[in-house]
Structure 1
Amino acid sequence: MKIKELKTEKEWLDAYQVMRQLRTHLDAFDYLDLVKEAVEVERYHLAALYEGEKIVAVTGFKPMTTLYYGRFVWVCDLVTDEHSRSKGYGEQLLNFVHQWAENHQFESVALSSGLQRHSAHRFYEEKMGYSKASYVLKKTW
């Protein structure tokens, strides 16, 4: 088991098979295009947990600074392959993000989770010690 930050287009594409289980609206082309832009513009990081040579879980996160949270890391994506769930991989990846944040002098880690994802909410609150801080609202046009 190892966790590795993914830096190249090939590595990003290797992670797509797992990421698409969370981001079902993205085809490989759009996914790669968005990862490139997020890395270049938003300081986005993509990391994967490997079981042997196979990626079994992926997280995307970015450092941010706001007046509300101060210096923090936002977890944009966190997904474990459907065939590898309930093995603690999400916890390991989230702990990796926590350690990354601490090592880079960020004060906290925050994320949002879809309203329908009740088991994910239990995981974040009960297992990982997160607390509800706000509602995340969205307007699309």
Structure 2
Amino acid sequence: MTQVKIDIGKLDANGIVDLANDSISVTPTSRFATATKKIVVDEPLKTALDQHGTITLNLPPTGKDWAYQLHVGAGTQHEFKVTFDVPDSANPVNFADLVTVDPATLIPNAGNPLSDINQSDIDWAVDAINA
């Protein structure tokens, strides 16, 4: 299990204030099996942020064919959803540091190695194929 610390705020005339006691849910994008072979269904874990807009959740690390979706503030003006990966970490991780992924493809939205391909990479691949 990886400890994931979620810390959410909102703008205020005096800066940023805590999103206190707001409801959230975390849902796997599909069912999965844990390392101990327990099947986990894709049902939401519903909870709420504390008075400081934070919560720490213990989540199994994601696999190659599934991720988690965080849903914050259902039915409010600040409602949002984000799909993300959780690493296998013995140390707590901040939600803001996690990789977000496209909900349809599970491909990372940032830091995707495919986005770093340039013409020299293509030329090398063509040469390798033609060799």
TM-score tier (shorter): under 0.3
When normalised by structure 2's length, the TM-score is 0.26
Largest Rg, 1 or 2: 2
When normalised by structure 1's length, the TM-score is 0.24
* More helix by percentage: 1
* More strand by percentage: 2
Q: RCO higher in 1 or 2 (8 Å CA, sep ≥ 6)? A: 2
